[in-house]
Amino acid sequence: FKIFPCSCFYKQNPWTLDPKQTLRRLRGIKMMRRNLRLKMWVQMRRMIVARTRKKKKTKKIKEKYIDQELNKTKPIWTRNPDDITQEEYGAFYKSLTNDWEDHLAVKHFSVEGQLEFRALLFIPHRALLTSLKTRRKRTSNYVRCVFIMDSGDELIPEYLNFIHGVVDSEDLPLNISREMLQQSKILKVIHKNIVKKCLELFSELAEDKENYKKFYEVFSKNLKLGIHEDSTNRCRLSELLRYHTSQSGDEMTSLSEYVCHMKETQKSIYYITGESKQQVANSAFVERVRKRGFEVVYTTEPINEYCMQQLKEFDGKSLVSVTKEGLELPEDEEEEKKMEESKVTISNRLVSSPCCIVTSTYGWTANMEQIMKAQAFWDNSTVGYMMAKKHLEINPDHPIVETLWQKAEADKNYKAVKDLEVLLFKTALLSSGFSLEDPQTHSNRIYHMIKLDLGIDEDEVTAEEPSAAVPDEIPADVYWIFFSLLEDSRPARDSSQYGSEYPGFSF
């Protein structure tokens, strides 16, 4: 057995095996013994280490229960406003908004009655840079001092989305999961009261001109958006507006102050819209109004177009755009005499300009037309009807109009007069704020008049194609555009006879 230790595992006689095969099996048995000894040594080593290692002792801890409130400070919005300092308000505002500056104004109030709630509202110094998703969630809703969710438009309208704060009420309805508010009449009542308190805060802030100037520079567009959207509080919001006027200089004035400065005969508030203060101040539309001593309100933001269309009147005075048709200024006795003696329809707004283009009362102004054309989904076929007919008004006392009239009376076939009439008409479009459909034709007409003034013959100018800017014969109706208003016996003509060059215009 020592020689063949595994012979008992073989059925055949080991002496009959091949010697080489027997040798291989013997070597395998040796390897098995070696591995077995190694495993036994490892197990013995582990047993020795386990016996010599010290056992850890378990400590017994006595458990005690103490009834103690960890956060003893009450929420700031539940405290009496008289007991809270501005430093505490500032610290809470910074923790709420993550802003490094202090707030501009704060409104802390509570409402009691059938519905009870408390609110703490802040106005920041500047518009905080936040994403579009968080822009509508500036106030936190609490029920019994437990945070529920950040509110959207349920409690504060969109135009007041710069307001930060907390609203806490025990009557807010919750859903089953107690994680969201349910729509109910209670939310509408809270919404109404919060808007009312915000407007009170703005009015209080307006008493301090320096702070209100900072507020208005940043959030004036929100107030104007509120006039466009909130018809209920439109009158109160209009009292917060501030504008530059023709008589205010560098300071801004309110509409209430404008009404106090109005003349006794003045029945309307005159305003003009444009891109900048300098542009509207130099506009031809304000010449006559300013000369008569009437104050003109300068509105220089695109949102003012929507704001003025919705406002329509203030303190019983209608708002009238000086760029639209139907402008009527209160006339004194001398002006009325002069108008009766003229017996013609002339412009009552021009002084130093020969002519201008005005729009109808219910149509878009030039500035509004540019704003709408800049929209991505502008379509001439669908909104073109809002581009009302444009009316040409001339100043008969202007030297250009008088000289043209004299030359036209002397020689009705004088070609330069006809070209100048069209040139004046196109220039009036540009000076009135409108755009030309074909600016190249207008440029070619100007070049043509320059050549005539310099005495350059058309034949001397070499060009590949003849210029079609100046036709050989201009229709006689163009001649009538400027001078029919100065002739008493001239019969009225239909504007549809002017040709395709002046679509959408009435004279």
| DSSP line for 41-76 | HHHHHHHHHHHHSPPPPPPP---------S--SPPG
pLDDT of residue 24: 65
Buried b (16+ CB within 10 A) or exposed e, 211-241: bbeebbeebbbbbbbbbbebeebbebbbebb
pLDDT of residue 351: 81
Residue pLDDT, tens place only, 65-96: 887 776 666 788 888 888 888 999 988 888 88
In 138-261, beta strands by DSSP E: 139-143, 146-151, 164-169, 242-245, 253-254
Q: At 176, is the pLDDT very low, low, confident or very high (cuts 50, 70, 90)? A: very low
Residue pLDDT, tens place only, 122-139: 999 887 665 444 455 567
> Average pLDDT for residues 394-415, to the nearest whole number?
78
Return d(Cα 453, Cα 134) in angstroms, integer. 64
Q: Is 349 annotated as a binding residue?
A: no
> Average pLDDT for residues 5-23, to the nearest whole number?
54
> Average pLDDT for residues 104-128, to the nearest whole number?
86
Residue pLDDT, tens place only, 236-261: 999 999 999 988 888 899 999 999 98
Q: Which of 4-13, 289-298, 485-494 ranks highest by mean pLDDT?
A: 289-298
Return d(Cα 505, Cα 507) in angstroms, integer. 7
> Average pLDDT for residues 326-347, to the nearest whole number?
58
pLDDT of residue 331: 66
pLDDT of residue 135: 52
pLDDT of residue 204: 92
Q: At 418, is the pLDDT very low, low, confident or very high (cuts 50, 70, 90)? A: confident
CB-CB contact of 262 with 295 (8 Å): yes
H-run or E-run covering 313: strand 313-314
For residues 378, 380, 385, 386, the Cα torsion angle rounded to the nearest 10 degrees is 30
Structure tokens at 426: 């196109």
Dihedral sign from CA coordinates of 174, 180, 185, 188: positive
Please choose, from the candidates 340, 486, 479, the residue with its C-alpha nearest in 3D space to the C-alpha of residue 402. 486
Residue pLDDT, tens place only, 42-56: 777 777 777 666 556
pLDDT of residue 297: 92
Q: In 3-state terms, what secondary structure has residue 143?
A: strand
> Hey, which residues does 142 pair with through a beta bridge?
147, 168
For the chain, give the mean pLDDT. 74
Percent of the chain whose predicted confidence (pLDDT) is above 90: 11
Is residue 385 predicted with pLDDT exceeding 60?
no
Q: Model pTM? A: 0.57
pLDDT of residue 270: 92
Residue pLDDT, tens place only, 451-501: 877 778 765 554 444 444 444 444 444 444 445 544 443 444 444 444 444
Is residue 15 predicted with pLDDT exceeding 80?
no
Residue 181 has what DSSP assignment? B
pLDDT of residue 174: 64
Residue that wins the pLDDT comparison between 438 and 273: 273
Residue that wins the pLDDT comparison between 303 and 417: 303
